[in-house]
Chains A and B, each alone.
Chain A
C-alpha cells in the first residue's frame, strides 16, 4: 500500500515512491489482466496501459486509500472501454446467458451435504480449480476473485467493477455457487465420489 509513509516531501521522491508502490501490485494486476484477456500478450498490453494511466492520474489517488483497488479500477475500466470499442462485444451477451443458466442450476442431491474440508482434501487439484474459474462468466469470476482472494471490500469491488454493491453481492453469491457446482462436477468426473 502507499500510505505516504516516506519522510521526505521532495516531489520527485514521492513520485518514485508512488511508482514503486504501484509496482508491488504488478503480479496481481497481470493475473487480473490474464483472467480478463485470456491471452498473455494482450494481458501485458492491458497492464502497460493501466500503468501509463495510473501514473498520469496519480494526482487523483487519495493517499491512504487502497492502492491495489485503485489500480484494479483503472485496469477494469480500461478493459471495459476496449470491449465497448467492439473488440469483444460478445462477452457481455455470453455472460448474461450463462448467468441465467446458473440461476436455474441445481446444487446436487438434496440433503447430501459434505463439509468443505472433505471437498478440499479429497478432490480439488489446482488445474481443476483453474479450469473451473476459467469457466465462470467474467462478471462472476471477478467478483469472487476480488472478494475471496484479493479481499477487497464490497465497496471497493463495486468501484472496480462499476456496479452497485447489491450487484456485487448477487454476482458473488452466484459466482461461488457456480464455482461449487463446477468443482463438484469435476470431482465426480475424476471418480472420487
Chain B
C-alpha cells in the first residue's frame, strides 16, 4: 500500500468508522510511515477538538428571523393551497405584513445585496400594508407634480413619477418602511386593481419577473435605481402593460 492509497482511507479511520479491512491496512501502513501517522493524528485531533467545542461555537438565529420565516411560510402556504377565501388570504397576508413590518424595519438594514426574491416578498407585504391595512389609497388621484413633490419632501431625492393615464390612476406616495424608509412607494390603481411601484435608489438589479406570496412582480433598473412593480397574482397581462408604460415614463 502506498501513501496515496492510504490517504483516501484516513478520514474514516480517524473517525473509527472504517471497515475492519481498511483499519487494518492503515494500521499496518502507519506503523512504518511517519508522514501518514502524523496525518492520521492531525485528523483525529482536529475532529476531537471540533466535536468537543462545537456546542460553544453554535449560534442562535435572531428571534425576528424565526418570526419572519414563520409568517412568510403561513402566507405562502395559504396562497399556494388556495385554502382560504380572498378575504382570508388578505388576513393571512396582513398578519404576515404586520409581523414583517414591525420586526423587519428594525432588523433588516438598508437594501444592499438582498436577494430579489426576499426583497420581492417584503415589498409584497408593504404593498398590502399600504393598500389594505392603512387604506392609503382611498383618496382621489393626485397629480404627477404632487407625487414628485412628496418624494422630494419625504426622501430628499427627486424622482420622475409616472402620471395617471387611461386605465391607470396615480393615487399616493408613501414612505416605504422597507430599507429604513429609503424606498419610495407609489400607489396606483390599474383597472380597479391596486398596483404598487417601488423606487429603490442607489442599487441596480437585473430585470426579472417573479411570483411571490401571491403577488406578481416585475423588476427593472434604470441608472442606479431599481423599480419593482407589485400587484396581486392573476393580473399578469395587465401588469405587463402597466410595467411597459411605467418603464417608459419613469426614466
A contacts, CB < 8 Å to B: 11-12, 15, 19, 23, 26-27, 29-31, 34, 40-42, 44-49, 51-52, 55-56, 78, 82, 87, 107-108, 110-111, 113-114, 116-117, 119-120, 124, 126, 129-130, 133, 144-145, 147-149, 166, 169-170, 172-173, 175-177, 179-181, 183
* B45, A172: Cβ atoms closer than 8 Å: no
Asked whether B69 lies within 8 Å of A48 as measured between CB atoms, the reply is: yes
Q: How far, in angstroms, from A110 to B113 measured CA to CA in the complex? A: 48
Known: A19-B70, A44-B108, A170-B8. A27 touches B59 (CB 8 A): yes
Q: How does the 8 Å CB contact mask read for B1-28 relative to A, with 1 for contact and 0 for none?
A: 0000001101110110000000000000
Contact of B34 among A78, A110, A116, A133 (CB under 8 A): A110
Q: Is the CB of B50 within 8 A of A179?
A: yes
**Distance to closest chain A CB from B204 (angstroms):** 13
Q: How far is the CA of A56 from the CA of B8 in the complex (A)?
A: 38
Q: Could you tell me if A45 and B42 are in contact, using CB atoms closer than 8 angstroms?
A: no
| In contact, A55 and B11 (Cβ under 8 angstroms) | no
Taking the complex as formed, is B237 at the interface, i.e. its CB lies under 8 A from any CB of chain A? no
Interface residue? B44 (CB, 8 A): yes
Q: Cα distance A116–B108 when bound, in Å?
A: 43
B29 within 8 A of A: no
Residues of A within 8 A of B233 (CB): none
Given A15-B81, A48-B68, A48-B72, A107 and B49 contact (CB-CB distance below 8 Å) = no
Q: Do residues A48 and B77 form an inter-chain contact, with CB atoms below 8 A?
A: no
Choose one: B57, B68, B80; the contact of A126 (CB below 8 Å): B57
User: Of residues A12, A114, A147, A149, which shows the largest number of chain B Cβ atoms within 10 Å of its Cβ?
Assistant: A149
New A-B contacts (9) at CB < 8 Å, excluding given A26-B61, A31-B58, A41-B112? A19-B74, A26-B65, A51-B73, A82-B115, A87-B113, A120-B48, A169-B11, A180-B42, A180-B43
Residues of B within 8 A of A173 (CB): 7, 10-11, 39, 43
The 3 closest A-B pairs by CB, nearest first: A180-B42, A30-B61, A176-B46
Closest to B50 in A: A148
Q: What total of chain B residues lie within 8 Å of the partner, measured CB to CB? A: 57
User: Which B residues lie within 8 Å of A113 (CB)?
Assistant: 37-38, 41
Chain B residues contacting A179 (CB-CB under 8 Å) are 46, 49-50
Which residues of B lie under 8 Å from residue A108 when comparing CB positions? 38
Interface of B is mostly: helix
CB-based contact B42/A56 at 8 Å = no
Please report whether the interface of chain A is mostly helix, strand, loop or mixed according to DSSP.
Answer: helix
- B241 in the interface (beta carbon within 8 A): no
Chain A residue with the shortest CB-CB distance to B68: A48
Establish whether residues B56 and A126, one from each chain, have CB atoms under 8 Å apart when the complex forms. Answer: yes
**Are B38 and A107 in touch, CB under 8 angstroms?**
yes
The answer to whether A55 touches B8, judged by C-beta atoms less than 8 angstroms apart, is: no
Give chain B's interface residues, CB within 8 Å of chain A: 7-8, 10-12, 14-15, 34-35, 37-39, 41-54, 56-62, 65-66, 68-70, 72-74, 76-77, 80-81, 83, 107-109, 112-115, 117-118, 121, 212
Contact between A51 and B48, CB atoms less than 8 A apart: no
The answer to whether B50 touches A107 (Cβ under 8 A) is no
Q: Are B50 and A48 in contact (CB under 8 A)?
A: no
Chain B residues near A149 (CB, 8 Å)?
50-51, 54, 57
Check A176 against B53 for contact (C-beta < 8 Å): no
Contacts A148-B47, A177-B46; A129 near B69 (Cβ below 8 A):
no
Query: For A11, what are the chain B residues with a Cβ–Cβ distance below 8 Å?
Result: 81
Contacts of A56 in B (CB 8 A): 76, 80
Contacts of B12 in A (CB 8 A): 169
Complex: chain A residue closest to B121, CB-CB: A52
Complex partner residue of B115 from A49, A148, A170, CB under 8 angstroms: A49
Q: How many Å from the CB of B2 to the closest CB on chain A?
A: 16
Q: Specify which of A46, A52, A130, A179 lies most central, judged by the most chain B CB atoms within 10 Å of its CB.
A: A52
* A29: nearest chain-B partner, CB-CB: B61
- Minimum CB–CB distance from A97 to chain B (whole Å) comes to 21
**B61 nearest in chain A by CB position:** A30
Whether A30 pairs with B65 at a CB distance below 8 angstroms is yes
